[in-house]
A and B are shown apart, each in its own frame.
Chain A
Amino acid sequence: MAYTKNKSEVDETLRADLAKKGVIWTSLDFLYNWGRRSSIWPMQFGLACCAFEMIAAACARYDIARFGAELFRASPRQADLMIISGTVTKKMAPQVVRLFNQMPEPKYVLTMGACAISGGPFIDGYNVLRGIDRYIPVDVHLPGCPPRPEALLHGLMVLQKKIASQEIQKAAWYQKGLKREFPIPELGPNGLIPKFNPEVWQPAKRNPRKEHYGQTILVGKKQKAPDLELVVAAKSATPGAAA
């Protein structure tokens, strides 16, 4: 969703005067967004380690319930926010896109953790998708490995700010002919087909990994295999500690 500015032309002193007399003057945008952002229902979608920090955020100590997001729905049809917490693999990616398509508008996506944003520490793997934003649009990125529960709450507050700035008149989900269903990738012989959706994401011009390592993906190349039969005499006196 575009980050639009919520322009309200209400005179503040008039508003204060009326409030003293018991009359509330507000804009429809404000009221509508207040209702939406104070009761976001996330979809329970814990993939990997970040799921545990998400559950800890939902438990009594960090308490996501005070932000209105206590009800984690299991079904995508009843949820507004998909928190993708954990590594998205190529085998799992079609299911993530399918679930996103099944969510009703207005819907938001929050990627939690380095793995969901860009592959994270597992970026060199052959089965790891380097960021779910290749296929679906993402509203809030939350870095960390794993991000603390307080960081998740901060991400939620950033999303609430974003929701508060959206206008009903320009809302995309009320326009005619809105299609926010993205094509679901298929499993091909070497990876996913397509590798990314060019309308949603395109590779950046600068490639910092190549500048630093000399290669984008760390794949090694060794030419000599070890010969285990060769026992070096000096090293044979290994103590049997830590057995």
Chain B
Amino acid sequence: MANIIESKNLDTASLLEINFGPQHPSTHGVFRMVIQLEGEKICGLKPVFGYLHRNHEQIAENLPYAAIMPYTDRLDYVNALANNFGYALTIEKLAGLEVPERAEYIRVIMAELARIVNHITVIGFMLNDLGAFFTPLLYAFRERERILDLFEEITGSRLMNNYFRFGGVKRDLTNENLAAIQKIVSKFPAFLKEFEALLTKNEILCMRCQNIGILPAGVATNAGITGPVLRASGVNYDIRKVDGYSIYNRFDFKIPLGEKGDVYDRFYIRVLEIRESLKILDQALSKIPQGEILNKKALPFIKMPRNFKPPVGEAYGRVESPKGELGFYVVSDGTPQPWRYHVRAPSLINLTVLEEMCLGQKIADAIIILGSIDIVLGETDR
């Protein structure tokens, strides 16, 4: 692109401009980068968005509030439950609904299971991008299938769960479900140990990932980066602790922080976060009370969703999704459809620093840097 060349005063004779086109084997989806190369070194990188722009915000302006819930599943389609959580939180803020105790515990359990699913998928794909074609991914997907079986039993669907409702959740957890979750929680550390033994001190991984794509903490804060990418650069900001939404302030868990902010830190911090999620799950399973799962005040609206008219106002609710801060901004005008609905997508904002991290690196490193930021196109393009 001519403007990259002019703005950087590069010597045009030795430059090669390639298209990391919308269709490429690395499965992050339809994402395109226009890269200027000098030999194998990257001199300029411009991402192009919009190949999966599905007009979620426009569609939501014509639907009743309850009907938007299945569409939020399809935003971050790797772990649908985190998106449901954010949206339910925002509408409860808008309408002033409270959530019963048991439902809060169930929400935390499902959200942490979704976090484990997401992190294990990301680690599998990152190792796939590094060249370990398919073996770590197969192992990661084996664990993922166990958790997806559980989702299917509880919510009815493997991927697009549509489980949360305003004021609670849709279906209760039976004792068999709780026993199944306990089994997964007790067996997972063994799998993580196996994974780590093979990979964490692996020479190829270390040489290819350490000191690549360093992101300084000041740049990260200013550029609005959130999630594991921010924490790998050393900034202690986790919305579960800062906002303490839902009942997260009752659980005892640590926030792993990285030191250098390179690709290796971002990979390892996700392994540590899986461990913390397992701790939260243990505590939640032991303390879950009996009770109802849906606020009685919300029942009439659930039975006739087209009548749900929250009061005029606006609300911004945010959750710590496994990719960063997922925020929903909803403006209501007293009719059953929202006036304005906006999703603050972490994947889009985290890509602000992609060019900076990739400059000066080799072209093969651009792929693993992109993989370590962990984007999903349904969220980036909405």
Q: Which residues of A line the B interface, CB within 8 A?
A: 44-49, 51-53, 55-56, 59-61, 74, 86-87, 89, 91-92, 95, 99, 121-122, 124-128, 145-146, 148, 218-220, 222, 224-228, 230, 232, 235, 238-239, 241-243
**A226 and B332 contacting across the interface, CB-CB below 8 Å:** yes
A56 to B27 CA separation, bound complex (whole angstroms): 13
**A230 and B312 contacting across the interface, CB-CB below 8 Å:** yes
**B53 and A59 contacting across the interface, CB-CB below 8 Å:** no
B365 interfacial contact with A, CB 8 Å: no
B245 interfacial contact with A, CB 8 Å: yes
The interface size bin for chain B is 35 or more
Residue from A48, A228, A239 within 8 A of B29 (CB atoms): A48
A188 to B78 CA separation, bound complex (whole angstroms): 33
Q: B135-143, B178-186, B267-275: which lies at the A interface?
A: B135-143
Q: For residue B80, which residue of chain A has the nearest CB?
A: A49
Q: Which residues of A contact B62 (CB under 8 A)?
A: 124, 218-220
A sample of 10 inter-chain contacts (CB < 8 A) reads A48-B74, A48-B378, A74-B24, A87-B54, A124-B59, A125-B59, A224-B333, A226-B312, A226-B332, A242-B98
**A89 and B54 contacting across the interface, CB-CB below 8 Å:** yes
B52 interfacial contact with A, CB 8 Å: yes
Residue from B21, B61, B74, B339 within 8 A of A121 (CB atoms): B74
**B99 and A227 contacting across the interface, CB-CB below 8 Å:** no
Beyond contacts A47-B52, A238-B96: 5 other A-B pairs, Cβ-Cβ < 8 A, are A52-B77, A56-B141, A61-B145, A95-B23, A121-B70
Chain B, interface SS category: loop
| Distance between B2 CB and nearest chain A CB, rounded to angstroms | 20
With A49-B74, A125-B55 as given contacts, are A92 and B30 in contact (CB-CB < 8 Å)?
A: yes
| Distance between B195 CB and nearest chain A CB, rounded to angstroms | 16
**A49 and B335 contacting across the interface, CB-CB below 8 Å:** no
Q: Which residues of A contact B50 (CB under 8 A)?
A: 89, 91, 127
| Distance between A102 CB and nearest chain B CB, rounded to angstroms | 11
**B160 and A227 contacting across the interface, CB-CB below 8 Å:** no
Q: For residue A76, which residue of chain B has the nearest CB?
A: B23
Q: Which residues of A contact B29 (CB under 8 A)?
A: 46-48, 51
| Distance between A118 CB and nearest chain B CB, rounded to angstroms | 14
| Distance between A55 CB and nearest chain B CB, rounded to angstroms | 7
Q: Which residues of A contact B137 (CB under 8 A)?
A: 59
Q: Which residues of A contact B243 (CB under 8 A)?
A: 243
| Distance between B192 CB and nearest chain A CB, rounded to angstroms | 19
Residue from A55, A91, A146, A239 within 8 A of B96 (CB atoms): A239
